[in-house]
Amino acid sequence: MKNRLKDNFLFIVVLVILIAWGALVVIHQYDLQQISINNNKEYLKTCGNDCYAVPTQPLDVITTFFNNITLTSLYHLGGFAPVFVIAPTVYYFYRKIKKRNLKNVLVRTNYKKEMLKQYLYSMKSTLIFPIFLIILFGFTYLQTGHFDIDYTFSHGGESADPENFIRDWKVFVPVFIFVIWLHSIFWANLGVISVKKNKSIVTAIIYGYILYQLISIGIEIFIGQWIFKDSSFIAILCLGSIWNYYGVTYFGMIIIGLILAIGSTIAVYLTYKNKENLIKECER
């Protein structure tokens, strides 16, 4: 039990930080929401015959959920979300691969089976954001309490995402979370790859994040700007667009996510396929 808590320590810490952050955002937005509603009610009392439609109740939960993600301090996730997955992945995988005497472990077990076991267990970090987003959705429902999207858009409610996506929320929300999970696989794989060549957990986390930034810039500039210049497809190639769906499609977001997840998984296999090479790295 003690070892299991140690293995999952950073996973738990990161999840608690995100949930606390989300809760503080929702509390703050609730206060702003109440101020706005009260101001709108006062406006309607004094505007006479020149009134325009303003919301006098909270906006619907779907609009508010995506506004909370995009229009609050949570927008920083666009740049730093990978760290929240890379860090716990590196923490676990490093402890199991670098801190143990791998050579002695492999005397008792098959190399491929052991590596697959540790790799799959490290992938639990890919659940951090799906769990967080589901909890944030629950917090947002407590903030607003209704799904009346028509009310939102008929009373001048503003949305961080296109109206057609918001109205199609039964597809949009699952696709949104699924795409985040696919990118989380990509981020976690970068963390796993980083462990092999680095001699500490901190340097491996930094290496993994730098690797992400280089790949992100490469995809957006070299592929997006050169190959798909002046194409609507370029928005999909901006990896930060997973948090905001302007100028993108469900199909495009899922395809890019699948390519990143599958491609990085293949890279992990190629990085660790040589048993002797890994043992040498661990003994340095």
Nearest to 151 by CA among 166, 138, 130: 166
Q: What CA–CA distance (Å, rounded) separates 97 from 196?
A: 8
% of the chain beyond a pLDDT of 90? 57
Q: What CA–CA distance (Å, rounded) separates 19 from 189?
A: 24
- Answer whether residue 6 shows pLDDT above 90: no
The DSSP secondary structure of 229-260, one letter per residue, reads TTSGGGGTT-GGGGG--TT--HHHHHHHHHHH
- Answer whether residue 229 shows pLDDT above 70: no
- Answer whether residue 250 shows pLDDT above 80: yes
- Answer whether residue 65 shows pLDDT above 90: yes
How far the first Cα of the chain sits from its last, in Å, is 31
Q: Are 262 and 179 in contact (CB under 8 A)?
A: no
Enclosing domain of residue 219: 2-283
Domain count, the chain: 1
Q: What CA–CA distance (Å, rounded) separates 284 from 266?
A: 25
Q: What CA–CA distance (Å, rounded) separates 147 from 134?
A: 16
- Answer whether residue 257 shows pLDDT above 90: yes
Nearest to 213 by CA among 86, 82, 91: 82
Q: What CA–CA distance (Å, rounded) separates 131 from 127?
A: 6
Q: Are 160 and 66 in contact (CB under 8 A)?
A: yes
Over residues 230-241, the mean pLDDT reads: 70
Q: Supply the mean pLDDT for the chain.
A: 88
Report CA Rg, the chain.
23
Q: What's the burial of 97, exposed, middle or buried (CB within 10 Å: 0-12/13-18/19+)?
A: buried
Over residues 182-194, the mean pLDDT reads: 97
- The dihedral region occupied by 145, where left means phi > 0, alpha psi between -120 and 50, and beta the remainder, is left
Interaxial angle between packed helices 9-46 and 128-144, expressed in degrees from 0 to 180 and rounded to the nearest 10: 30
Residue with more model confidence, 195 or 158: 195
Q: Are 180 and 133 in contact (CB under 8 A)?
A: yes
Q: Can you give the pTM of this predicted structure?
A: 0.92
Joined tokens for residue 44: 């309607």
Give the least confident one: 39-43, 50-54, 57-61, 76-80.
50-54
- The type of residue at 195 is V
Q: What CA–CA distance (Å, rounded) separates 198 from 70?
A: 34
